[in-house]
């Protein structure tokens, strides 16, 4: 790392700070457990902060048929609901976005109290929510400021209040990971979200609705996060030179 100043080299001990946003019917601790292998891959360069959405899931949509792979005793939360009975399905077309503004304020408060964060790691509905954050950031309509995003099984929101989003290409660096055999969020929905970004990195795997982190994905994860780490160092070097 000889291209960086001695003062800046000290910051090499500081890792990227990542905010981790869970999926629907999960919580922060459940998402932490499900990203264990992923954290091991990039842990050399990143620290992780997990939060739990502000809306508790009381009623489960019996038509959703979602196997979230966790204990039924686990408290379940979501970022917003797209039906008046306070349920949510990612594949549902139209509908409201009940609780979205409250979740946005919650995340903005999280950035203020625990940030700054360099990037966001998100899964499923959390990825849907993060995609909306990216759009808001690009249009300077949120207090959240971050430099990259990693999506797992994410998708565009089809809620009626969100139709105004995704009109312009989002320029923030993004990595989109999704399964070819995802039965919860079809791969086409995740691909549609990736197309909202300029120069997205797309990583498909043969599995379903989960955080894939094996030897096949490992090189891509390391390359993406190392690039973000070096970008941060270079930006800090440029600021010192100004």
Positions annotated as catalytic residues are 124, 182, 209
Structure tokens at 66: 């979602």
Distance CA 25, CA 22 (A): 9
| Burial class for 91, CB neighbours closer than 10 Å (0-12, 13-18, 19+) | exposed
Report the Cα–Cα distance between both ends of the chain, in Å, rounded.
20
- CA distances to 105, 135, 217 from 102, rounded to whole Å, are 5, 17, 34
User: Are the C-beta atoms of residues 191 and 167 closer than 8 Å to each other?
Assistant: no
């Amino acid at each position: 790392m000889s291209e960086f100043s001695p003062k800046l080299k000290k910051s090499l001990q500081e890792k990227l700070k990542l905010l981790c946003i869970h999926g629907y019917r999960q919580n922060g601790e459940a998402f932490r457990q499900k990203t264990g292998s992923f954290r091991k891959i990039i842990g050399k360069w990143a620290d992780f902060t997990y939060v739990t959405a502000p809306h508790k899931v009381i009623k489960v949509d019996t038509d959703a048929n979602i196997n979230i792979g966790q204990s039924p005793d686990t408290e379940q939360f979501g970022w917003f609901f797209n039906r008046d009975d306070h349920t949510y399905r990612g594949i549902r077309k139209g509908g409201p976005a009940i609780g979205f503004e409250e979740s946005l304020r919650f995340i903005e408060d999280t950035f203020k109290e625990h940030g700054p964060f360099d990037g966001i790691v998100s899964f499923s509905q959390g990825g849907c929510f993060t995609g909306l954050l990216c759009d808001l950031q690009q249009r300077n309509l949120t207090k959240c400021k971050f430099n990259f995003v990693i999506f797992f099984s994410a998708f565009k929101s089809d809620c009626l209040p969100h139709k105004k989003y995704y009109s312009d290409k989002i320029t923030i660096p993004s990595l989109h990971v999704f399964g070819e055999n995802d039965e919860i969020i079809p791969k086409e929905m995740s691909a549609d979200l990736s197309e909202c970004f300029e120069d997205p990195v797309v990583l498909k795997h043969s599995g379903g609705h989960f955080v894939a982190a094996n030897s096949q994905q490992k090189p891509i994860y390391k390359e993406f996060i190392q690039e973000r780490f070096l970008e941060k160092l270079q930006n800090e070097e440029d600021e010192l030179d100004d």
